[in-house]
């Protein structure tokens, strides 16, 4: 049975993460000249912040898994697909709803 999905964007949080990631990149490059291990750790953290920020600005479809009912399965674009973190089954997003592979093949 198909389940409804909601498209959510987090522009404020995403923008904050992007800005924090850019500042972190600058600081990590400076730290690489002073103390290389600390600079590399900061560089890794800055890249993580940039990735999370970009995903937050772009948004994602969030809904429950049609197989096991787990809430908060995220699919980044429509049409798109992702594996449920709980049951590991493939979930398909189409027209604002989450479907099983069998439901998609029968349409």
Q: What is the pLDDT of residues 65-85, one digit of tens each?
A: 999 999 989 898 778 899 999
Token couple for 104: 């998609």
Q: Smallest Cα–Cα separation from 93: which of 72, 105, 77, 106?
A: 77
| Number of compact structural domains in the chain | 1
pTM of the entire predicted model: 0.65
What average pLDDT does this structure show over 55-60?
A: 85
pLDDT at 8: 86
What average pLDDT does this structure show over 16-20?
A: 94
Q: Smallest Cα–Cα separation from 96: which of 19, 2, 1, 4?
A: 4
What is the residue range of 84's domain?
3-106
What average pLDDT does this structure show over 11-40?
A: 92
């Amino acid at each position: 049975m198909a389940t409804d999905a909601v498209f959510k964007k987090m522009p404020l949080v995403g923008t904050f993460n992007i800005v924090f990631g850019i500042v972190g990149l600058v600081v990590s490059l400076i730290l690489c000249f002073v103390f290389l291990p600390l600079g590399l750790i900061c560089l890794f953290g800055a890249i993580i912040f940039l990735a999370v920020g970009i995903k937050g600005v772009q948004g994602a479809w969030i809904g429950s898994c049609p197989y096991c009912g787990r809430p908060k399965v995220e699919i980044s674009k429509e049409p798109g697909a992702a594996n449920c973190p709980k049951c590991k089954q493939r979930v398909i997003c189409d027209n604002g709803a989450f479907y099983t592979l069998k439901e998609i093949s029968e349409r």
